[in-house]
Amino acid sequence: MKKISILIGLFISTITIAQKKAPDNWQTLDPTADKVYGTGAEEAYKTLKGKTSQTIIVAVIDGGTDVDHEDLKNIIWTNPGEIPDNGIDDDKNGYIDDVHGWSFLGGKNGDINYEATELARMYQKMNKKFKNVNTASLSDADAKEYKEFQDKIKPEYLKAQAQADQQAQQLAVLSDFINKVKTQTKQPFSKDAVKQFVPDNAQDEMIKKRMKVILALISAKDLDEQVTQGANMIINNAKYNKLNVDSIRQYIVGDDPNNPNERYYGNNHIKGPDALHGSHVAGIIAAIRNNSIGINGIADNVKIMVVRAVPDGDERDKDIANAIRYAVDNGAKVINMSFGKYYSPDKKVVDEAVQYALSKDVLLIHAAGNESKDKDVENSYPSRDMLDGTTASNWIEVGASSYKKGKKLVGDFSNYGKTKVDFFAPGVDIYSTIPDNKYTTESGTSMASPATAGVAALLREYFPDLKAADVRTVLMKTVVTYKKKVKVPGKKKAKIKMTELCITAGFVNANNAVKELLGMNKK
């Protein structure tokens, strides 16, 4: 789920094409009052004027968060039972010096940044298991697994790996071109630098011609940053998909990758090697409001608990299960989960953690995914649909939307589902916090999920008797509906009604929810 963004067909499918600048803090604005399809948070605070709130802990399960950011540091959760940096588990919760949260991706030998996909991990394990085995003598269970390997896992892995290798190669070529321009012209990458650049081969000549079109759509600075970020991510992911990642994991973290029930491992390096995604998510939820710097978060009285469990690549089921349990046990009432994958070999332990959260009245908000897929056809994980046939009532599934009404109101990259996605929330061109006191614009359901988590936290702040399942119910009931057709994500010309894209046919709205809870909405 940690992706750069959408499509630039000239080169590679992970670079955002810049569009008209969205209004500042648009995710907090309101469709009725501001003609902007935000969450209505600013209007909600006007409705709540004079009301008091209680502090709510929101856990951000992600790749790491910069807790020292100027717009975040005063809203970061601090464990009241832990004495910082004394090497002792003061509160006896099983995690030493977990002052602001915990990382399930680190150990005494460092911190994991890149991981393989779950599909690659499954392929590596099955390929090793069946490589020199007489398949005629397999047990019924192993024969079933072997058939799955041959019919599904192996062909899908080989196809995915070929695509990843191709993307990595394309990005490497583009990255090399940008570096050549900077080196030859001895200046930062820009339109003028490209004009001055003298290619010495046909490939660079071709790229220079195409660059004129690209730089009309996106600034040279943004392109440089996104190509660097994309090259690091995609090239490393392609590489790690071919490695024995379990042995790397075991060396760094020190746990047993094949024991899904293991609980106590990791370290307190909650920022991790790459805190951009988690910091951006945290800012959307709760960046300090009205402090004349940065942005305004949606929730005004929360503490952000940082739980690191999502690498670049696919998260492991055991880490997600443990992250949920850690957040629940340490007081979180809302958990944001901006990640996902399409295979879950240890789904049982995640299901148990979700059910544990339900038993403790904790609400889970999950991003629907960024592959323009219909989740009714192909669902992703984790999910609220349990292996035992039940459905978690404390779970909200969110798609991404844009700020302006019209056929492009739903994000073109967003997953959707008539019965699987609850509603849509701001997720296109969201400006928020990133490490080192900086800010940037990102798009994805990874942004829509924290926008919803911020609204959910707002409701739990001002209506503390509201149960987790009730928060979902009121948010579902009070969406802003949209009756005109919108573009089907990922399809060029097809348009469809919102009733076919999500359960509620609408967009989350904090002010409508607040009015409902105050008895102000007309029946």
Exposure string (b/e) for 48-59, b if CB count within 10 Å is 16 or more? Answer: beeeebeebbbb
What pLDDT does 510 receive? 98
Q: Is 43 helix (H, G, I), strand (E, B) or coil?
A: helix
Rounded Cα–Cα distance for residues 26 and 37 (Å): 8
pLDDT confidence bin for 218, thresholds 50/70/90: confident
The model's pLDDT over 139-156, given as tens digits with 9 standing for 90+, comes to 999 999 999 999 999 999
- Beta bridge partners, 410, equal 401
Sheet with 302-308, side-by-side order of all strands: 101-103, 302-308, 56-62, 334-337, 363-367, 395-401, 423-426, 506-507, 480-481
- Beta bridge partners, 365, equal 336, 396
Mean pLDDT of 13-34: 76
Where do the structural domains in the chain lie, given as residue ranges? 26-115+265-517, 118-240
Q: Is the pLDDT of residue 12 over 50?
A: no
% of the chain residues with pLDDT over 90:
84
**Which is more confident, 137 or 228?**
137
Which residues 6+ apart lie within 8 Å of 201 measured at CB?
none
Which CATH number, 3.30.470.10, 3.40.50.200, 1.10.40.50, 1.10.1760.20, labels domain 26-115+265-517?
3.40.50.200
Q: For residue 514, what are its two tokens?
A: 């607040």
Q: For residue 393, what are its two tokens?
A: 């009532």
pLDDT confidence bin for 523, thresholds 50/70/90: low
Q: Is the pLDDT of residue 229 over 90?
A: no
In terms of Cβ atoms closer than 10 Å to its own Cβ (0-12, 13-18, 19+), residue 273 is middle
Mean pLDDT of 410-428: 97
Q: Is the pLDDT of residue 8 over 70?
A: no
Which residues 6+ apart lie within 8 Å of 137 measured at CB?
none
> DSSP letters along 277-339, please?
HHHHHHHHHHPPTTSSSS---S-SSEEEEEEE---BSPPPHHHHHHHHHHHHHTT-SEEEE--
The model's pLDDT over 55-81, given as tens digits with 9 standing for 90+, comes to 999 999 999 999 999 999 999 999 999
Rounded Cα–Cα distance for residues 364 and 392 (Å): 9
Compute how many other C-beta atoms are within 10 angstroms of the C-beta atom of residue 436: 11
What pLDDT does 164 receive? 85
Q: Is the pLDDT of residue 9 over 70?
A: no
pLDDT confidence bin for 217, thresholds 50/70/90: confident
The model's pLDDT over 273-283, given as tens digits with 9 standing for 90+, comes to 999 999 999 99
Rounded Cα–Cα distance for residues 249 and 184 (Å): 41
Q: Is the pLDDT of residue 213 over 90?
A: no
Pairing of strands 56-62, 302-308: parallel
The model's pLDDT over 395-406, given as tens digits with 9 standing for 90+, comes to 999 999 999 999
Q: Is the pLDDT of residue 19 over 90?
A: no
pTM of the model: 0.92
Axis crossing angle, helix 118-130 with helix 245-253, rounded to the nearest 10:
110
Average pLDDT, the chain: 93
What pLDDT does 3 receive? 42
What pLDDT does 497 receive? 96
The model's pLDDT over 98-121, given as tens digits with 9 standing for 90+, comes to 999 999 999 999 999 999 999 999
